[in-house]
Structure 1
Amino acid sequence: MSKPMKDMMVSDYQSRLGDSSEAIVVSLRGIDAEGTETVRSKMRQSAVSVAVMKNSLARKAFEGTALEALNPVMKGQNALIFGERSVVEVAREFIELIKDFPDIELKGAVLDGELYEGDEGVKRLSQFPTRDEALSDAVGLILGPGRNLLGQIKGPGSNIAGLLKAIEDKLEKGEAISKN
């Protein structure tokens, strides 16, 4: 392949990847064309792209980006999975998907420039909270002490209010109030 053609392909890869800083690398070797199309269509439904790239050109396209961490796993036949969704969510979906396609090999994933290598790395990544889950947890941690404090403040007040209401009811009925 000529140098201008390679440069054009690297530019195409870079434009397709855009600002992606998260991706998963898998090997689709061992599944037929129909299986590959099934994988692609399921990922496409999730707003995720599956791209087969020439490794040397992909490494060149990754230079200077967070995806550069994937270079060590870019060997053999690979497909790069990337898109608008969190790599954690995509890893979860892909782990479910490979139950139907056991020949798919998870080679690695990158999140914030950190490589999660191999099957175990991608599975570990899938157990992380997504951005939305992490934000929800953080909000819960921030609001938790205030909620507890409010409960502590309201608790005695509601007890006193209950006692006063009981006294008022007894007085309205003309009953005597005991000192117990």
Structure 2
Amino acid sequence: MRKEEKFEIVQELTERIKEYGNFYITDTADLTVAQVNTIRRKFFENGIAIQVAKNTLIRKALEAAGVDSPELNGVLKGSSTILFSSVANAPAKLIKELRKTGDKPVLKGAYIDSALFIGDKQLDALATLKSKEELIGEIIGLLQSPAKNVVSALKSGGSTIAGLVKTLQERG
């Protein structure tokens, strides 16, 4: 591979790391071509970008993107495939689904909104992470709940108060 090609790959990886903010590093070694094609298709169908790159190029891209992590650098051994997604838990859910039919891909590490998840044992935790949209929806629901209670209390209490005021006026 020429130096220019390596530079282009590092640039592309760096841009994707910055653009998505979430990425997973997995091991897909020893899979057949058919298995790799199936995995690629499933990731594509779920809006997850996938790229195989040399570990040294991934390291350089991480450094260029400002993700300088000894833990992530430590997982960059053997064959590495990097997954990019704007939804933090989507790759983990899909990896879990794919693992029902085989033992790959294996999660080496993940970077989710500046949080590190190292090792395949983190897959369940990543799959249960809530997306930003889910969290925002929950927060809005929580904020609306007290407001609705106050409004309904005012409405019901308002008629009682109005009734009291009217009765007091009629007596006076």
TM-score range, shorter chain: 0.7 to 0.9
- CA shift, 1:71, in A, is 2.3
> RMSD over aligned Cα, in angstroms?
2.5
Which letter maps to 2:134? E
- The structure with the larger Rg is 1
- Match of 2:19, SS state, is coil
Gaps of 5+ in 1: 162-180
Alpha carbons of 1:64 and 1:9: their partners in 2 closer, same or farther (altered >3 Å)? closer
The aligned length equals 160
Alpha carbons of 1:131 and 1:16: their partners in 2 closer, same or farther (altered >3 Å)? closer
Which letter maps to 1:59? R
Once the two structures are superposed, residues 98-130 of structure 1 have per-residue CA deviations (whole angstroms, 9 ceiling, x without a partner) of 212223211111012221011222321221210
Paired position in structure 1 for 2:138: 137
Question: Does structure 1 retain, via aligned residues, the 8 Å contact 2:16–2:84?
Answer: no
- Give the TM-score of the pair, scaled to structure 2: 0.79
Paired position in structure 2 for 1:174: none
Paired position in structure 1 for 2:32: 32
Equivalent-residue separation in structure 2 for 1:9 and 1:160 (angstroms): 72
Question: Does structure 1 retain, via aligned residues, the 8 Å contact 2:95–2:105?
Answer: no
Summarize the alignment of residues 132-171 of structure 1 with structure 2, pairs less than 5 Å apart: 132-156=133-157
Which letter maps to 1:152? A
Gaps of 5+ in 2: 163-172
Percent sequence identity is 28
Once the two structures are superposed, residues 108-160 of structure 1 have per-residue CA deviations (whole angstroms, 9 ceiling, x without a partner) of 11012221011222321221210100000110121111111122223345779
Equivalent-residue separation in structure 2 for 1:80 and 1:120 (angstroms): 18
Alpha carbons of 1:157 and 1:27: their partners in 2 closer, same or farther (altered >3 Å)? same
- CA shift, 1:60, in A, is 0.4
- Match of 1:145, SS state, is helix
